[in-house]
C-alpha cells in the first residue's frame, strides 16, 4: 500500500447514492455515503428526479463528514475525481457541478472518470495493485460485463455483457415479484439463507451449447425473471403459498451459476490467472462463495472487495482518480460533459 501520492477526493452521484471518498495513494481515508434509497423504495425503483434532488441536499454535508473522518481540510486536497458517466444524467450533473466548483475554488485539477472502471479499481484499496492482465466481472444494477483489463488497468476490453437485464436488475425484479422491498438484491440474499437452492430449476440464460458458441461471455437474465414470474403465478393460481426462501435461493443460484461459469471460462480461454469482482451484485454472499469455489478448482486467484466497496461509493472514484493522477494522466479540464452511456473502455475524459 502506498501512503504517499496525491490526496484525492472522489465524488459519486451516478444513481441513488451520494458518495464522497478520500484516498491518499492507495490508502482509503474516508468513505461517506448518503442514500436516497428509502425515498426510492416507495416507487419500487430509482426515480431520476428524486435522486437528483437528494444528491443536492446530501452532497455538502457528505463532503464535510468525509473531511472530518479523514482529518483533512479542503485546502489539503491535491485533485478531485468525479463520476462523469455512465449513469442518470441529472444525478451525474450534481456531482460534476460540485466537483468543478471545488476545483475552481481550490485551484486544483479535476478528473471526470468512468463509474465502471471505478468498480474494478476499488479492489486495490484493500488488496494492493491489480495483477496485469486481470479479468473483471462487473455486476451492478445497470451493468453485467466481463472485462479484460490490461496495461496496468489503462486498457479495458469488454469481452461480453448482458443482452437484456443486468444481474442486479434481475435480483430487483424477482424481489418485487416476491413482495420484497427495493433494492431487492440484499433481500434475496437474506431470504435465500433459509431456502433450498435446488428446489426449483430456473433457466441459465445463454448457457446451452448453441448459445455458448455464439455468446460465450454474454449474459441474459430476462428469461429467468419471466420463469420466476410464471412459477409464482402458477402457485398463486393454485392457491398454494409461495415458498419465498426457496424461490430466492433457486433464483440466486441460477444467477451466480451463470456469472461464475462464464467468468471462469473467460479466464481459461484468455489464459488469465486472476479474476476480480466488482459492482453491487458482487456483495451477494452466494456469488462470492461460488466464485471462490470455482476459482480454486480452476487454479485461479480471486479478488473481491468488501461488500461496502462493491456497492456505489465515493472511495472507488477517489481510487481511480489517485491512480490516474499517479500515472500522470492529464486532468479533464473544466469543460467535460456528463455521459449517460460512457463506454467502459474510457477511464476518464
Q: List contacts with ligand KG4 (CB under 6 A).
A: 15, 140-142, 168, 171-172, 183-186, 189, 279-281, 283-284, 311-312
* Rg of the chain over all Cα atoms, to the nearest angstrom: 20
* Pick 35 or 140: Cβ nearer Zn ion: 140
183: partner contacted, choices ligand KG4, Zn ion, none (Cβ within 5-8 A by kind): ligand KG4
Q: What are the grid coordinates assigned to 347, written together? A: 477511464
CB 89, min distance to ligand KG4, A:
15
Nearer to Zn ion, 31 or 140 (CB): 140
Question: Cβ closer to ligand KG4: 39 or 78?
Answer: 39
Q: Whole-number minimum distance, CB 186 to Zn ion, in Å?
A: 15
Q: How far is the CB of 209 from ligand KG4 (least distance, A)?
A: 28
CB of 140 to ligand KG4, least distance (A): 3
Which residue has its beta carbon closest to Zn ion?
A: 140
Decide: residue 297, CB within 10 A, 0-12 exposed, 13-18 middle, 19+ buried: exposed
Contact, 113 vs 347, CB < 8 A? yes
Residue 19 or 25: the one with the smaller Cβ distance to Zn ion is 19
Of residues 140 and 252, the one with the C-beta less far from Zn ion: 140
- Do 196 and 249 contact (CB within 8 A), yes or no? yes
Cβ 165 to Zn ion shortest distance, Å: 15
In a 3-state reduction of DSSP, which class is residue 278? strand
What's the full length of the chain, in residues?
Answer: 349
The smaller minimum CB distance to Zn ion, of residues 139 and 267, is found at 139
Q: How far is the CB of 115 from Zn ion (least distance, A)?
A: 6
Cell 468525479 identifies what position? Answer: 82
Q: Which residues bind Zn ion (CB under 5 A)?
A: 140, 312
- Report yes or no: 158 and 214 within 8 Å, Cβ to Cβ: no
What is each CA distance from 344 to 12, 151, 208, 262, 283, in whole angstroms?
Answer: 16, 15, 28, 19, 21
Distance of CA 228 to the CA centre of its chain: 24
Least Å distance, CB 314 to ligand KG4, is 12
Q: In this structure, what are the phi and psi dihedrals at residue 306, rounded to the nearest 5 degrees?
A: -55, 150
Among Zn ion, ligand KG4, none, partner that 118 touches (CB below 5 to 8 angstroms by kind) = none
C-beta of 183 vs 197, nearer to ligand KG4: 183
Please choose which of ligand KG4, Zn ion, none residue 172 contacts, taking the beta carbon within 5 to 8 angstroms, the exact cut-off set by kind. Answer: ligand KG4
CA dihedral angle for residue 125, residue 126, residue 129, residue 130, rounded to 10 degrees: -110
Which does residue 160 bind out of ligand KG4, Zn ion, none, counting CB within 5 to 8 angstroms by kind?
none
Angle formed by the axes of helices 185-192 and 167-177, to 10°?
A: 70
Amino acid at each position: 500500500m502506498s501512503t504517499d501520492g496525491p490526496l484525492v477526493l472522489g465524488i459519486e452521484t451516478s444513481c441513488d447514492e451520494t458518495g464522497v471518498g478520500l484516498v491518499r495513494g492507495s490508502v482509503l481515508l474516508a468513505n461517506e455515503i448518503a442514500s436516497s434509497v428509502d425515498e426510492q423504495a416507495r416507487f419500487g425503483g430509482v426515480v431520476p428526479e428524486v435522486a437528483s434532488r437528494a444528491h443536492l441536499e446530501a452532497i455538502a454535508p457528505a463532503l464535510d463528514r468525509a473531511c472530518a473522518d479523514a482529518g483533512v481540510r479542503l485546502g489539503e486536497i491535491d485533485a478531485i475525481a468525479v463520476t462523469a458517466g455512465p449513469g442518470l444524467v441529472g444525478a451525474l450533473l450534481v456531482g460534476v457541478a460540485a466537483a468543478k466548483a471545488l476545483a475552481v475554488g481550490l485551484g486544483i485539477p479535476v478528473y471526470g472518470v468512468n463509474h465502471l472502471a471505478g468498480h474494478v479499481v476499488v479492489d486495490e484499496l484493500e488488496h494492493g495493485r491489480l495483477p496485469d492482465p486481470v479479468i473483471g466481472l462487473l455486476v451492478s444494477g445497470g451493468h453485467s460485463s466481463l472485462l479484460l483489463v490490461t496495461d496496468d488497468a489503462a486498457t479495458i476490453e469488454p469481452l461480453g455483457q448482458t443482452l437484456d437485464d443486468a444481474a442486479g436488475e434481475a435480483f430487483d425484479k424477482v424481489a418485487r415479484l416476491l413482495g420484497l422491498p427495493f433494492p431487492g438484491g440484499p433481500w434475496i440474499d437474506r431470504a435465500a439463507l433459509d431456502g433450498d437452492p435446488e428446489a426449483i430449476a430456473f433457466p441459465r440464460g445463454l448457457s446451452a451449447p448453441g448459445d455458448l458458441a455464439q455468446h460465450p461471455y454474454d449474459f441474459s437474465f430476462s428469461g429467468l425473471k419471466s420463469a420466476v414470474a410464471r412459477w409464482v403465478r402458477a402457485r398463486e393460481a393454485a392457491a398454494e403459498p409461495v415458498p419465498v426462501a426457496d424461490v430466492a435461493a433457486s433464483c440466486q443460484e441460477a444467477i451466480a451459476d451463470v456469472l461464475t461459469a462464464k467468468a471462469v471460462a473467460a479466464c481459461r480461454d484468455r489464459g488469465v490467472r486472476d479474476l476480480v469482482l466488482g459492482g453491487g451484485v458482487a456483495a451477494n454472499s452466494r456469488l462470492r462463495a461460488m466464485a471462490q469455489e470455482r476459482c480454486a478448482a480452476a487454479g485461479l486467484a480471486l479478488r473481491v472487495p468488501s461488500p461496502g466497496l462493491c456497492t456505489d461509493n465515493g472511495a472507488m472514484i477517489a481510487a481511480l482518480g489517485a491512480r490516474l493522477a499517479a500515472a500522470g494522466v492529464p486532468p479533464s479540464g473544466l469543460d467535460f460533459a456528463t455521459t449517460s452511456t460512457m463506454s467502459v473502455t474510457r477511464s476518464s475524459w
